[in-house]
Amino acid sequence: MKAARLFGAKDLRVVDIPDPSSPGPGDILIKVKAVGICGSDLHMYENGRIGYTDQSDVFTIGHEFMGEVVAVGEDARDGNFEPLEVGQRVAVDPCTPCYECEMCEQGHPNLCLNHTFYGLFPENGAMSECMIVHGRNCFPMPDNISDGGGTLLETLGVAIHSVDLAKLKVAKSLAIIGCGPVGLLILALAKKSGAYPIYAFDKFDWRLDKALEWGADEVFNVDKVDGVQALMDATNGRGCDTVIEAAWADHSIQMAADMAAYGGRLVLVGIPGDDQLHMQHAVARRKGLTIMMARRMKHTYPRALAIANTGMVDIESLISHHFPLEQASEAFAKNFRYDEGVHKIVIDI
């Protein structure tokens, strides 16, 4: 079968790999139908690393995905503990916690000490024609969510977890730095949560246009204005009650701290390219900021499915481009260049 394999930095090739075997107990075989390109995929594509995970061999990339069940292992059950059946369309949570460590027992599977993660080296990901996955990672999709929409459920799950960490309150102000897919989904959920006013920051006008469409009260292009000064002008020098950083620029964490009001709350979602936090200690200390780090998500897929199924958030409209598997390399290059109009790119398989 065909798969998009990362051989090294910016060296993504579609090659033949062996077909998977039959699924074992608790597992299923899926025909992968769609895979989204995530910002963390772009880190691996750019540098062959993310955080302290270094790629030391070839592997299949992709962790935002869905597929159709084609074979079911013995007693394979989904994330709701229901039996899985051939023909079901399922979205797949890429993170497999151990369910036994201290963090899992305390209800934090996203912090599992022994987890594996599809598409994070050395675990092969989903950008292939078929793959075996754990049944418990799978969540059946309703018919009104498209294959492409199914890839955004993981992104939406990250946004849900980030908003949970933010503890947003009605009519309390919010600044969002970074209006990529995660930042925009955070914006949509924050609007539903009653945060007001909401200020959005990015360097791409088409992203800011989307932020306005989805309910931002004011937007600022940080390549055209001083973002911190613009926010201080808008808030009469007070800053925002909550600031969510959803970019991966080296300077954006300091920007978030500078934008926060005294006693404010920061939620850091983006992953800096150099894996370092760049923040002036005195700013955070003197303001008495509460700083939360978003690590993936908790058990958010059922909530993400409910949000998408009811149309509470139009996740489908975030998909700007589709590419076939054979053009995965071109898709990554386009996303990495941040070509105009790019929001979410989906690889159709």
CATH code for the domain of 222: 3.40.50.720
Rounded mean pLDDT, 281-294: 96
Determine which of 43-52, 111-120, 200-209, 316-325 has the lowest per-residue pLDDT on average.
43-52
In tens, the pLDDT along 222-251 reads 999 999 999 999 999 999 999 999 997 778
Indicate if 286 and 172 belong to the same structural domain: yes
Q: Which of 241, 247, 316 is nearest to 278 (CA)?
A: 247
In the prediction, which pLDDT does 276 show?
Answer: 82
Kindly report the pTM of this predicted structure.
Answer: 0.96
SS3 55: coil
Indicate if 84 and 175 belong to the same structural domain: no
Domain count, the chain: 2
DSSP β-bridge partners for residue 11: 8
* Rounded Cα–Cα distance for residues 238 and 222 (Å): 19
Q: Where among 293, 323, 338 does a domain terminate?
A: 293
Query: Which range marks the domain in which residue 244 is found?
Result: 157-293
Q: In whole numbers, what is the pLDDT of the chain averaged over residues?
A: 96
SS3 content of the chain, % helix, strand, coil (to 5): 30, 30, 40
Does residue 342 fall inside a structural domain?
yes
Calculate what percentage of the chain has a pLDDT beyond 90: 91
